[in-house]
């Protein structure tokens, strides 16, 4: 019986039993165990070339462990390997991706004195690269007495796949200095490295080299070049490369379509699909994934359902990558229940699909469902990856679900994710939103590297938990650490300035914005308008508004609110007119600003007119609009009309509405109505000490001391305490905070001396 008979599968059970217990058939792999691995006379007579062929065929069929077992048996028989055996065996070890065994075979290579053989060394390079052990691969490379283009290509590809593109490109320079000319595979590996980390200039150089060396007509190179340009955001050049390709195929179309989707040109991807069909090129699974991703980007549910039908028609709906993209599309298009339906009936659930549906539910507002899916993933024995944990933490932040957040924190520590800057930022945000600023600070301080996201989380967290001073201090610390602020940072810091009414700090932040080129960002400009207005710098706010090249509805609303705050009702109404003339449609916030402005100016008729006009813009008045109108009527003394309006509200009035009317009762000295309003208030919010104090003051104005004592006794009985008054002042670019009965200030004696002097002057 010849060796070919053994390899092709025409072998008897005795040979199978003697040579590894596996049957390598012509049509595929059919693995059957037939007892222990034993030696026969036939095996002892085989020469190294026969063993090599057998090892190679086992490896080729995917039976890597059996190939290794054959090699070990060969050693036991005393048959010495030749120069072709070791590369075959190392390839088997490479496919197993077992670094420990790989090092053992490396040691055997050195023991055999084969460490100078270029084929053996190239095989060792491939093995270490496949095992992501680039340090060992580099050591092998450095020790090679001779290197060829395969050596360089292997190491370049290894560095790229290990996330070290600069090292990969550095090997090109070493290759050039060593006199080894790059080939097509070198260009492919180098282009992949450039694409991974968006190294456009290097990619252009490699593209130019490929053109000079006649690689331009290769399909693989064309696709790799298009992919590189797309990843670098240079879709125009990618399109030129694609159009110049005379041999377009499904791969090049897929790369172009995916690139357009990545660059937010989903409609271009759709047009390419139709062009592809016109040229008679049949779509494959990658085409469908790109198409579904286009629908996700366009948020076009109807088109997505049509693509889904096309996927089913082509019999691709059971492929994992297509199922995952369909789930993502339905969730992004606001139909998370359809995504869940696909997920639940899928037999192909993997970690990527779990992460996709968890993220989809989180983004579509189904937070509790996302957390439930995380629990199910854990109970099924799966391990959530970094993206799934991030989604879970974001949900915990929005729901203020601290206890599940703590569980995710523990899991992230177990999975060694806690030091990840994204996880750290999400944990900081979660604890801040849940009111545990101490835990947020502990997470933040333990981060080995703090980026702008981490700083934003702690700045926003400090502000949300009522410490605007600390938020500002964090911003200055962030600058000291040379971390550049982004639009979110600026918005948070300006909110802190607004809270403390620090006009000088607002001006400093404005200067920072101008120096760092953030003045074209709409979010930043809107925040500046709002902060300047709240800090008393209405002219600064107006200057920012006028200099904006692009305004959204928030820009107009912020300026309207600012004018209203400063009692500039005429300017507010004039700006409202200009807003409508500019084609910007007023929204609920716009009318709240206008009604508030009319209220402060006492313009009842004008306020009524704008309140009634809301329906002309398809807007239904909300609670805040009724609150403004009640305040407007109450300030004008129209208390009966204010009560009638409250009774006409389509929904139950909230405490703010009644509270506004109670304040008007004090101004216009109506104790009977005040008593009625207070009863409604206490039914809704019995623990608000402010309302108790206000009613007590109204009774005191009328000399109803028994009622005053009754309210105070009730407040004391239920444990209501008025928060101490708090004030702050900016002196010499420093904020000084004062609270009632606080005696902790370092200049206490001087302050009280001045207060005493001022009091005496006022009395005299």
| Segment 574-588, tens digit of pLDDT | 999 999 999 899 999
Predicted pLDDT of residue 688: 65
Q: Which residues, in sequence order, are bridge partners of residue 734?
A: 731
Kindly indicate the confidence band of residue 23, based on its pLDDT and cuts at 50, 70 and 90.
Answer: very low
- On the question of pLDDT at 262 being above 70, the answer is yes
Distances (CA, A) of 739 to 614, 727, 733: 43, 6, 20
What number of other Cβ atoms are within 10 A of residue 217's Cβ?
Answer: 10
Report phi then psi at 416, rounded to 5. 60, 35
Predicted pLDDT of residue 725: 60
- On the question of pLDDT at 34 being above 80, the answer is no
- On the question of pLDDT at 21 being above 60, the answer is no
Q: How far apart are CA 77 and CA 665, in angstroms?
A: 106
Predicted pLDDT of residue 365: 84
* Helices and strands (H, E) in the chain, number of each type: 44, 4
Q: What is the mean pLDDT of residues 124-137?
A: 85
| Segment 510-550, tens digit of pLDDT | 999 999 999 999 999 999 999 999 999 999 999 999 999 89
Q: How far apart are CA 116 and CA 93, in angstroms?
A: 20
For 468-487, give the DSSP string: HHHHHHHHHHHHHTTPPP-H
Q: How far apart are CA 626 and CA 630, in angstroms?
A: 6
Predicted pLDDT of residue 687: 63
Distances (CA, A) of 30 to 19, 26, 61, 632: 14, 10, 10, 86
Predicted pLDDT of residue 56: 73
Taking Cα atoms as reference points, which of 249, 245, 265, 247 lies closest to residue 257?
265
Can you say whether residue 28 is alpha, beta or left, with left for phi > 0 and alpha for psi between -120 and 50 degrees?
A: left
Domain parsing of the chain, residue ranges: 724-764
| Segment 432-459, tens digit of pLDDT | 999 999 999 999 999 988 999 999 999 9
Return the percentage of the chain with pLDDT > 90, whole number. 41
Predicted pLDDT of residue 1: 34
Q: Which residues, in sequence order, are bridge partners of residue 736?
A: 729
As a whole number of Å, the CA-based R_g of the chain is: 37
| Segment 285-331, tens digit of pLDDT | 999 999 999 999 999 999 999 999 999 998 898 888 999 999 999 99
Predicted pLDDT of residue 309: 93
Both structure tokens of 69? 């077992």
Q: What is the mean pLDDT of residues 346-351?
A: 86
| Segment 626-653, tens digit of pLDDT | 889 888 888 888 888 888 888 888 888 8
**Four-point Cα dihedral 409, 412, 413, 419, nearest 10:** -100
Distances (CA, A) of 291 to 260, 308, 322, 411, 648: 11, 10, 10, 36, 51
| Residues 406, 411, 417, 422, CA torsion sign | negative
Angle, alpha carbons 228-232-237 (nearest 5°): 70
Write down the mean pLDDT value for the chain: 83
Both structure tokens of 446? 């333990």
Q: Are 287 and 273 in contact (CB under 8 A)?
A: yes
- On the question of pLDDT at 209 being above 70, the answer is yes
Both structure tokens of 161? 């796949």
Kindly indicate the confidence band of residue 484, based on its pLDDT and cuts at 50, 70 and 90.
Answer: very high
- On the question of pLDDT at 334 being above 80, the answer is yes
Q: Are 417 and 426 in contact (CB under 8 A)?
A: no
Q: Residue 310: CA atoms inside 13 Å, Cβ hemisphere, count?
A: 18
Angle, alpha carbons 346-347-348 (nearest 5°): 90
| Segment 214-260, tens digit of pLDDT | 887 888 999 999 999 999 999 999 999 999 988 899 999 999 999 99
């Amino acid at each position: 019986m010849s060796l070919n008979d053994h390899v092709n599968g025409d072998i008897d059970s005795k040979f199978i039993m003697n040579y590894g217990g596996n049957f390598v058939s012509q049509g595929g792999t059919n693995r059957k165990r037939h007892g222990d691995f034993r030696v026969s006379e036939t095996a002892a007579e085989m020469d190294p070339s026969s063993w090599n062929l057998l090892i190679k065929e086992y490896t080729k069929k995917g039976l890597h462990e059996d190939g290794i077992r054959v090699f070990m048996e060969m050693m036991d028989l005393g048959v010495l390997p030749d120069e072709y055996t070791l590369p075959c065996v190392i390839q088997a070890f490479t496919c197993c991706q077992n670094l420990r065994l790989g090092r053992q075979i490396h040691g055997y290579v050195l023991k055999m004195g084969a460490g100078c053989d270029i084929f053996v060394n190239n095989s060792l390079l491939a093995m270490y690269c496949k095992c992501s052990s680039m340090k060992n691969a580099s050591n092998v490379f450095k020790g090679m007495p001779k290197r060829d283009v395969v050596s360089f290509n292997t190491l370049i590809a290894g560095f790229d796949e290990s996330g070290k593109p600069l090292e990969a490109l550095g090997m090109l320079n070493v290759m050039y200095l060593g006199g080894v000319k790059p080939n097509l595979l070198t260009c492919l590996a180098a282009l992949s490295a450039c694409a991974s980390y968006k190294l456009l200039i290097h990619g252009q150089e490699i593209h130019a080299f490929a053109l000079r060396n006649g690689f331009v007509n290769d399909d693989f190179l064309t696709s790799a070049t298009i992919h590189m340009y797309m990843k670098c955001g240079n879709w125009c050049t990618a399109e030129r490369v694609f159009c110049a390709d005379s041999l377009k195929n499904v791969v090049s179309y897929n790369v172009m379509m995916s690139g357009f989707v990545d660059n937010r040109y989903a409609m271009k991807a759709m047009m390419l699909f139709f062009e592809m069909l016109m040229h008679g090129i049949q779509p494959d699974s990658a085409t469908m994934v790109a198409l579904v991703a286009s629908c996700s980007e366009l948020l076009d549910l109807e088109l997505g359902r049509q693509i889904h039908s096309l996927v089913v028609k082509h019999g691709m709906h059971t492929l994992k990558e297509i199922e995952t993209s369909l789930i993502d599309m339905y969730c992004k298009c606001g139909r998370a229940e359809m995504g869940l339906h696909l997920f639940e009936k899928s037999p192909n659930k993997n970690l990527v699909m779990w992460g996709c549906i968890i993220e989809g539910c989180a983004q579509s507002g189904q937070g509790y469902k996302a957390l439930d899916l995380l629990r199910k993933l854990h109970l099924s024995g799966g391990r959530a990856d970094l993206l799934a944990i991030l989604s879970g933490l974001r949900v915990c932040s929005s729901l203020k679900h601290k206890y599940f957040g703590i569980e995710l924190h523990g899991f992230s520590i177990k999975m060694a994710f806690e030091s990840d800057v994204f996880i750290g930022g999400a944990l900081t945000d979660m604890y801040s939103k849940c009111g545990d600023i101490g835990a947020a600070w502990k997470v933040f301080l333990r981060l080995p590297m703090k980026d702008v996201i981490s700083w934003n989380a702690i700045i926003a967290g400090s502000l949300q938990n009522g410490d605007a001073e600390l938020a500002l201090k964090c911003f200055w610390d962030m600058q000291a650490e040379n971390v550049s602020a982004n639009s979110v940072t600026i918005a948070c810091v300006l909110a802190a300035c607004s809270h403390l009414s620090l006009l000088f700090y607002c001006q400093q932040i404005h200067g920072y914005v101008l120096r760092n080129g953030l003045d074209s960002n709409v979010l930043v400009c809107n925040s500046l308008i709002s902060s300047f207005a709240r800090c008393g710098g209405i002219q600064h706010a107006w200057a920012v508004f006028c200099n904006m090249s692009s305004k959204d509805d928030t820009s107009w609303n912020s300026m309207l609110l600012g004018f209203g705050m400063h009692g500039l009702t005429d300017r507010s109404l004039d700006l409202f007119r200009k807003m409508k003339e500019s084609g910007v449609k007023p929204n609920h916030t716009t009318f709240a600003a206008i009604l508030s402005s009319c209220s402060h100016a006492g313009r009842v008729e004008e306020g009524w007119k704008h309140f009634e006009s809301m329906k002309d813009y398809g807007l239904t008045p909300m609670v805040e609009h009724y609150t403004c109108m009640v305040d407007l009527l109450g300030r004008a003394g129209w208390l009966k009309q204010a009560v009638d309006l409250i009774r006409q509200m389509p929904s139950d009035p909230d405490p703010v509405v009644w509270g506004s009317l109670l304040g008007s009762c004090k101004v216009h000295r109506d104790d009977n109505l005040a008593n009625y309003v207070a009863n409604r208030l206490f039914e809704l919010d019995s623990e608000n000490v402010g309302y108790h104090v206000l009613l007590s003051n109204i009774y005191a104005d009328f000399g109803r001391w028994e009622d005053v004592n009754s309210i105070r006794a009730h407040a004391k009985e239920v444990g209501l305490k008025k928060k101490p008054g708090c004030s702050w002042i900016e002196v010499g670019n420093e904020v000084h905070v004062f609270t009632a009965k606080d005696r902790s200030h370092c200049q206490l004696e001087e302050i009280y001396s001045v207060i005493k002097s001022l009091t005496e002057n006022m009395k005299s």
